[in-house]
Structure 1
Amino acid sequence: MASYNEQLQQVWHEYEKEKGYLPSTARDACMWGVERGMIAMPELDPFDELAKDMSRALREEYGTDRYGRRYRKNHAVRVTKGGVQYTMWAIMGNAPLDHMRKAFIQRRQQIVGDCVQLDTDVRVYNDLNPEQEPIQVPFDFSPDVEESRLMIEGEAA
């Protein structure tokens, strides 16, 4: 039996095929799949939905320090206890050092993982399209970070 993700992927592929492989939204594909009985509407736990909403709100809360720097107030660390993954949140100014260290390490690992996948995707695309000029994506973000930081500091001045 296919996993839930595999079922959703199958709906997406069949939707794309029927629609002529044009860019589309996941919502449109889901509506299409539900209408055809390919997937069912999920039964939602209200507390799970509230927790997702709270996590999104916490992720989006920013503060400004005394130097005018905008920063994320709340930071998450993923932990596994008894085989179940939890996301533990803490407020930056009150969080223990160990929590913040883990939060920053995990965020950096996410960025690295995204870069590795982007590099693979670009390389595969270029291999699939040898007649086109290859797309090149630089992965040294130092100039981008510095430029953005200077722009932010210039706006704060």
Structure 2
Amino acid sequence: MATYNEQLQKVWHEYEKELGYIPASLRDALKWGVEKGMIETPTPDPYDKLVEDMSRALREEYKTDRLGRRYRVNHAVRATKNGVQLTMWASMGNAPRLHMQKAFIQRREQIVGDCVQLATDVEVYNDINKEQEPIPMLFDFRDDVAERKTWDNSEAA
């Protein structure tokens, strides 16, 4: 039996094939898959929806410190307890140092993982399309971070 992810992937690839391999919205692909009987619409757990909404709200909460720096207030740490993966949240001003350290490390690991996958994707695309000029991808973000901080500071003024 196919996993849920495999079912979703199959819906996407079949829809893509029928559409002619052009960019498409996932909502349209899912509606198509439901109509074709390839996947059923899930019965939502209201707490899952509330958790998703609160998670988004907490990620989007920012404040500005006395020096004018805009910072994210709430930080999450993924942890496993008794075999169940949980996401534990804390507000920066009240969070224990260990929580914040883990949150920062996990966010950095996500960024590194995204960069590794992006590098691989660009390499594969460039290999598949050798007749075209390769798409370059640089991963030294020092100048980008400095420039963005300058933009953010100028917007706050």
Specify if TM > 0.5: yes
* TM-score interval for Structure 1 and Structure 2 normalised by the shorter chain: over 0.9
Q: Which residue of 2 aligns with 1:37?
A: 37
- The separation in 2 between residues aligned to 1:85 and 1:42, in whole angstroms, is 21
Structure 1 gaps of 5+ residues are none
Task: Kindly state the Cα deviation for residue 155 of structure 1 after the two structures are TM-superposed.
Answer: 2.7
SS at match of 1:134: coil
Q: What CA RMSD, in Å, does the superposition of the two structures yield over aligned residues?
A: 0.7
Question: Are 2:64 and 1:77 equivalent residues in the alignment?
Answer: no
SS at match of 2:21: coil
TM-score, scaled relative to structure 2: 0.98
Task: Kindly state the Cα deviation for residue 115 of structure 1 after the two structures are TM-superposed.
Answer: 0.1
Q: Which residue of 1 aligns with 2:144?
A: 144
Identity across the alignment (%): 71
- The separation in 2 between residues aligned to 1:136 and 1:11, in whole angstroms, is 32
Structure 2 gaps of 5+ residues are none
Task: Kindly state the Cα deviation for residue 150 of structure 1 after the two structures are TM-superposed.
Answer: 1.5
State the Cα deviation string for residues 5-34 of structure 1 (Å, max 9, x = none): 000000000000000011001111000000
SS at match of 2:2: coil
Task: Kindly state the Cα deviation for residue 44 of structure 1 after the two structures are TM-superposed.
Answer: 0.9
Task: Kindly state the Cα deviation for residue 120 of structure 1 after the two structures are TM-superposed.
Answer: 0.2
Task: Kindly state the Cα deviation for residue 156 of structure 1 after the two structures are TM-superposed.
Answer: 2.6
Alignment of 1:58-137 (within 5 A): 58-137=58-137
Specify the code of the residue in structure 1 equivalent to 2:60.
E
Q: Which residue of 1 aligns with 2:18?
A: 18
- The separation in 2 between residues aligned to 1:18 and 1:46, in whole angstroms, is 34
Runs of 4+ in 1 over 3 A off after TM superposition: none
SS at match of 1:43: coil
SS at match of 1:40: coil
Question: Are 2:28 and 1:28 equivalent residues in the alignment?
Answer: yes
- The separation in 1 between residues aligned to 2:53 and 2:155, in whole angstroms, is 31
TM-score, scaled relative to structure 1: 0.98
Q: Which residue of 2 aligns with 1:54?
A: 54
